[in-house]
Amino acid sequence: MALPTIAIVGRPNVGKSTLFNRIAGERISIVEDVEGVTRDRIYATGEWLNRSFSMIDTGGIDDVDAPFMEQIKHQAEIAMEEADVIVFVVSGKEGITDADEYVARKLYKTHKPVILAVNKVDNPE
């Protein structure tokens, strides 16, 4: 039986790869403070409350004309198609942005369960 699959999606630099690495228990995805580091889908297995699942890290989605953005969006769309559940990561530090709203509209069209994860709420800077 296949493991349930979770896709981690959101706009650039909200902490998707950090969350992915934390759940995986090791550094699999590269984490930097610049946009566009994660471009392809990255897979790992995670476990929560004695339940195993597959997870997919994705690049940050935005509605801008930036280098590689079309490829990043395409990779994220594949991950969303493969997923049983989508974790939508937003930053509590910056609040909801136009890019977050763009991602939310894409997620709505998937008709899949979405879990909202508000990240960066522990850092007062």
DSSP letters, 21-75, are HHHHTS--S---SSTTS--S-EEEEEEETTEEEEEEE-PPP-SS--TTHHHHHHH
Kindly state whether residue 26 falls inside one of the protein's structural domains.
Answer: yes
pLDDT value, residue 64: 75
Q: Looking at per-residue confidence, does 32 or 108 come out higher?
A: 108
Range of the domain at 52: 5-119
Q: pLDDT at residue 33 above 70?
A: no
Q: Give this prediction's pTM.
A: 0.86
Please check whether residue 124 lies inside any domain of the structure: no
Query: What pLDDT digit, counting tens, does each position of 88-105 carry?
Result: 999 998 889 999 999 999
pLDDT digits (tens, 9 = 90+) for 47-74: 989 999 999 999 888 887 766 778 888 8
- The domain total for the chain is 1
CATH number at residue 64: 3.40.50.300
pLDDT at position 62 = 83
The dihedrals phi and psi of 104, each to the nearest 5 degrees, come to -60, -40
125 in a structural domain = no
42: in domain: yes
User: Residue 102, Cα to own-chain centre: how many angstroms?
Assistant: 14
